[in-house]
C-alpha cells in the first residue's frame, strides 16, 4: 500500500508538486483572509465574502488539480476534453466552495462537520470530473486506494471546519486542514489510477493549451479575489473602529 502511494506521487514531477502545493496554500490563505472578522460583518458583507470564498475555493482546488496534472506522466502526453475540463470548475465551486462558504453562517459543530464532509466529497467529484476529461487514455481505479484518498480529503476538511477562528493558532490549523485535505485526496487518488493509452486518435487540448487555460483563469480569479479581499478587510477594519 505504502509503495503504491509513493509511486503515485513520484509519477508527478517534483516542481509541479511544489507548484500545486503553492497554489493550494494561496487558496487557503485567501479564503482565511475573507473569513476573518466575519463575526462583526453585516449580513450583506458576509454574503459578499461568502461568494468570493466559494469562487476562490472552487477555482483554487481546480487549479491545484490541473497544475499537478501538467506534471503527471509526461510520457503519456495527455489530452483533455475542453468542455469537461471547464465543467470541473463548476463542480469545484458548487460542491467545494459553496459548503465552505456556508460555514460562515453556521456555528453548530455538527453542521460544520457535515459541510466539511460535503466539501471533501466535492474535491473528489471535481477530481474525478477532471480525470474523466482525459481523452487519449482510459482511467481505471483501485477502489480501496481511491476510497482512502476520499476519506483523507473529508478528514482534512472536517478538521478545518471545526476550527474556531477566534482561538490563537486556529487559522494555521484551518489552512493546514484545507491544504492537507486537497493534496492528500489528489495524490492518493492518483496512486489509485492506472492510465492505458487509447490507440484511436482523439482531438483534445494538450499540455500547452491547458497550461495557458489554467494560468489565465487562475490569475484572473486570484487577482480579483485579492482586490476584493483587501477591500473587504478595509471595510471590516473601519467597522470595528467605528468609522
CA dihedral 220, 157, 90, 183 (to 10 degrees): 70
| pLDDT tens digits for range 4-18 | 556 666 667 788 889
From the CB of residue 25, how many other CB atoms can be counted at a distance below 10 Å? Answer: 18
Taking the C-alpha atoms of residue 219 and residue 35, their distance in angstroms, rounded to an integer, is: 21
| Predicted pLDDT of residue 71 | 84
Average pLDDT over residues 145-174: 89
Whether residue 192 is predicted with pLDDT greater than 70 in this model: the reply is yes
Q: Which stretch of 39-43, 111-115, 158-162, 169-173 has the lowest confidence by average pLDDT?
A: 39-43
Taking the C-alpha atoms of residue 31 and residue 66, their distance in angstroms, rounded to an integer, is: 20
| Predicted pLDDT of residue 209 | 84
Average pLDDT over residues 190-205: 77
Whether residue 237 is predicted with pLDDT greater than 80 in this model: the reply is no
Q: What is the mean pLDDT of the chain?
A: 86
| Predicted pLDDT of residue 232 | 74
Taking the C-alpha atoms of residue 139 and residue 168, their distance in angstroms, rounded to an integer, is: 44
Q: Can you spell out the DSSP letters for the chain? A: -HHHHHHHHHTB-HHHHHHHHHHHHHHHHHHHHHHTTGGGS-HHHHHHHHHHHHHHHHHHHHHHHHHHHHTB-TTT---B-HHHHHHHHHHHIIIIIHHHHHGGG---HHHHHHHHHHHHHHHHHHHHHHHHTB-SEEEEE-HHHHHHHHHHHHHHHHHHHT--TTSTTHHHHHHHHHHHHHHHHHHHHHHHEEEEE-SS----B-HHHHHHHHHHHHHHHHHHHHHHHHHHHHHHHHHHHT-
C-alpha cell at 77: 502526453
| Predicted pLDDT of residue 215 | 87
| pLDDT tens digits for range 75-93 | 667 889 899 999 999 999 9
| Predicted pLDDT of residue 178 | 95
| Predicted pLDDT of residue 63 | 94
Amino acid at each position: 500500500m505504502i509503495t503504491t502511494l509513493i509511486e503515485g506521487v513520484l509519477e508527478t514531477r517534483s516542481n509541479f508538486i511544489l507548484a500545486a502545493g503553492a497554489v493550494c496554500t494561496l487558496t487557503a490563505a485567501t479564503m482565511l483572509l475573507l473569513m476573518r472578522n466575519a463575526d462583526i460583518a453585516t449580513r450583506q458583507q458576509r454574503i459578499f465574502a461568502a461568494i468570493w470564498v466559494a469562487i476562490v475555493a472552487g477555482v483554487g482546488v481546480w487549479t491545484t488539480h490541473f497544475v499537478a496534472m501538467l506534471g503527471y506522466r509526461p510520457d503519456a502526453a495527455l489530452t483533455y476534453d475542453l468542455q469537461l475540463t471547464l465543467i470541473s470548475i463548476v463542480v469545484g465551486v458548487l460542491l467545494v466552495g459553496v459548503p465552505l462558504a456556508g460555514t460562515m453562517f453556521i456555528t453548530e459543530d455538527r453542521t460544520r462537520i457535515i459541510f466539511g464532509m460535503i466539501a471533501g466529497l466535492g474535491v473528489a467529484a471535481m477530481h474525478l470530473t477532471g480525470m474523466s476529461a482525459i481523452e487519449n487514455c482510459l482511467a481505471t481505479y483501485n477502489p480501496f486506494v481511491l476510497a482512502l484518498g476520499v476519506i483523507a480529503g473529508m478528514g482534512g476538511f472536517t478538521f478545518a471546519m471545526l476550527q474556531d477562528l477566534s482561538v490563537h493558532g486556529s487559522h494555521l490549523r484551518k489552512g493546514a486542514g484545507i491544504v492537507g485535505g486537497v493534496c492528500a485526496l489528489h495524490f492518493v487518488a492518483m496512486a489509485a489510477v492506472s492510465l492505458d493509452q487509447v490507440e484511436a486518435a482523439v482531438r483534445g487540448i494538450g499540455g500547452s493549451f491547458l497550461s495557458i487555460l489554467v494560468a489565465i483563469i487562475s490569475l484572473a480569479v486570484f487577482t480579483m479575489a485579492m482586490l476584493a479581499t483587501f477591500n473587504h478587510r478595509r471595510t471590516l477594519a473601519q467597522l470595528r473602529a467605528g468609522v
